[in-house]
Amino acid sequence: MTNESAHETGYSGADERGYFGPYGGAFVPETVVPALEELSRAFSEAMADPLFVEAYSTLLRDYVGRPSALYRADRLAAAVGLGAVYLKREDLNHTGAHKINNTLGQCLLAKRMGKQRVIAETGAGQHGVATATAAALLDLECVVFMGTEDIRRQSLNVYKMGLLGAEVVPVDDGTGTLADAVTAAMRHWVERVEDTFYVLGSALGPHPYPTIVREFQKMIGSESIAQLAERGVARPDAVVACVGGGSNAIGTFYPFLMHYGRDELPLLVGAEAAGKGIDSPLTGASIALGDPGVMHGFFSYLLQDERGNPLEAYSISAGLDYPGIGPEHAYLHDEGLVRYVPVTDSEAVAAFSQLCTLEGIIPAIESSHALALLPALAAELGPAAIVLLTVSGRGDKDIDIVKEAGL
């Protein structure tokens, strides 16, 4: 399943060494190489095993609530000047976002590999909670690495992880935020690879993680294609998702890249976090402002200083403030198959407010970055255009943040 055959777009995913063009790979200490190879093998075998696929699909249906709804948001479409806007409602999943799709898949894989212990990194705590949830369900010991600054800012999620039976390990290095937590989790994994499975939270990290995470998120796009067809939409004009590390976006885009030829491919658009603006140091726009480099075990666009040290990313949204982007997105950008557009904090907050008042849906501030692109898409594609947009999560966690931003 990892070696998809090339389609008419000419797109075929990673090669055997985990490269998407020049991006990706596995830049890891020697001691981790066998663990990554074991993981690749176990993943391929699992995806080819009907019992594993059945166990995963059953949990997605009965525990997560899939397929998630596809909702035609007519008041929103009228307000932004589009023919139709279809919202793919990942916010309705158990735990309120797309992350559970991936953590359930990886925790099932951990069990199959005979590991009794999972570790994860988390920034805002969303991936930590999703991992702790899957670990509780599947009776796995769970340890989550989290920066001390993030622990302070995200006390509710820290408390939730405790309720779910996970241990949160504070990481005091660097700025005490996500990038430091990833480094600490990887360092720990090197020491405990025998009995420990690393549940990675986005479509990045060393090969095979970017491909594994995509495969555990690609139901977002494939369900959408089927649900659109049921409504008589053979092809939307554009497909939009927000991009942090890139998991909900690649899960949305990948089935479109496989399903349509290059000539009919909808305009695929990823919204990345511009923070206070791409001319400001307070930004998270890795594609717009980054340069290729290595961080956390993979080669991709990164925000870095002149000496190649990663810069701290900033965004109003904790889920988008990572200084890099998954390698598959870097490749899709270079190939011109996906367009990446920076969206500022204030544009995202305005779009957040608009969805609340027009549709009665409180979206995650991450997802609001995607929503903010709709008016420009209407101007470009015209008033009859049909747009699919992934609402990656619900906004309950962001109420204090938008309140502070003046809503």
Ligand X SMILES: *Cc1c(COP(=O)(O)O)cnc(C)c1O
Catalytic residue among 40, 68, 111, 121: 121
Min separation Cβ 135 and ligand X, Å: 18
User: What's the min distance (Å) between Cβ of 78 and ligand X?
Assistant: 26
Provide the angle, in degrees to the nearest 10, between the axes of the packed helices 247-259 and 99-112: 90
Residue position matching structure tokens 């948001």: 73
Q: CB-wise, 130 or 135, nearer to ligand X? A: 130
CB nearer to ligand X: give 211 or 392.
Answer: 392
Nearest residue to 242 (alpha-carbon basis) of 208, 278, 269: 269
- Given the complex with ligand X, which of 128 and 233 has the nearer CB atom? 128
CA nearest neighbour of 369 among 289, 276, 290, 273: 273
Question: Which H helix or E strand runs over 94?
Answer: none
Q: From CA 400, how far away is CA 43, in angstroms rounded?
A: 39
Judged by CB, which is closer to ligand X: 233, or 240? 240
Give the nearer residue to ligand X in terms of CB position, either 193 or 243: 243
Residue 387 host element (H or E): strand 386-391
Structure tokens at 163: 């309720």
Least distance (Å) between residue 100 CB and ligand X: 10
Active site residue 392: yes
Q: Which residue of the set 68, 224, 317, 392 is catalytic?
A: 392
CA distance 194 to 205: 19
Q: Going by C-beta distance under 8 Å and a sequence separation of 6 or more, which residues neighbour residue 153?
A: 124, 318
Q: How far apart (Å, rounded) are the C-alpha atoms in residues 26 and 20? A: 12
How far apart are CB 244 and ligand X at their closest, in Å? Answer: 3
Q: How far is the CB of 304 from ligand X (least distance, A)?
A: 19
CB-wise, 99 or 218, nearer to ligand X? 99
CB of 87 to ligand X, least distance (A): 13
Q: Point out the residue whose Cβ comes nearest to ligand X.
A: 393
Which of the following is catalytic: 88, 99, 111, 218? Answer: 99
Beta strands in 66-190 (DSSP E): 70-72, 84-89, 117-122, 141-147, 167-171
In the complex, the residues that contact ligand X under the rule CB under 6 A are 97, 99, 126, 202, 242-249, 319-320, 364, 366-367, 392-393
The total of other beta-carbon atoms located within 10 Å of residue 141's CB is: 15
Q: Are strands 141-147 and 167-171 parallel, antiparallel or unpaired?
A: parallel
What are the residue numbers of the active site?
A: 99, 121, 392
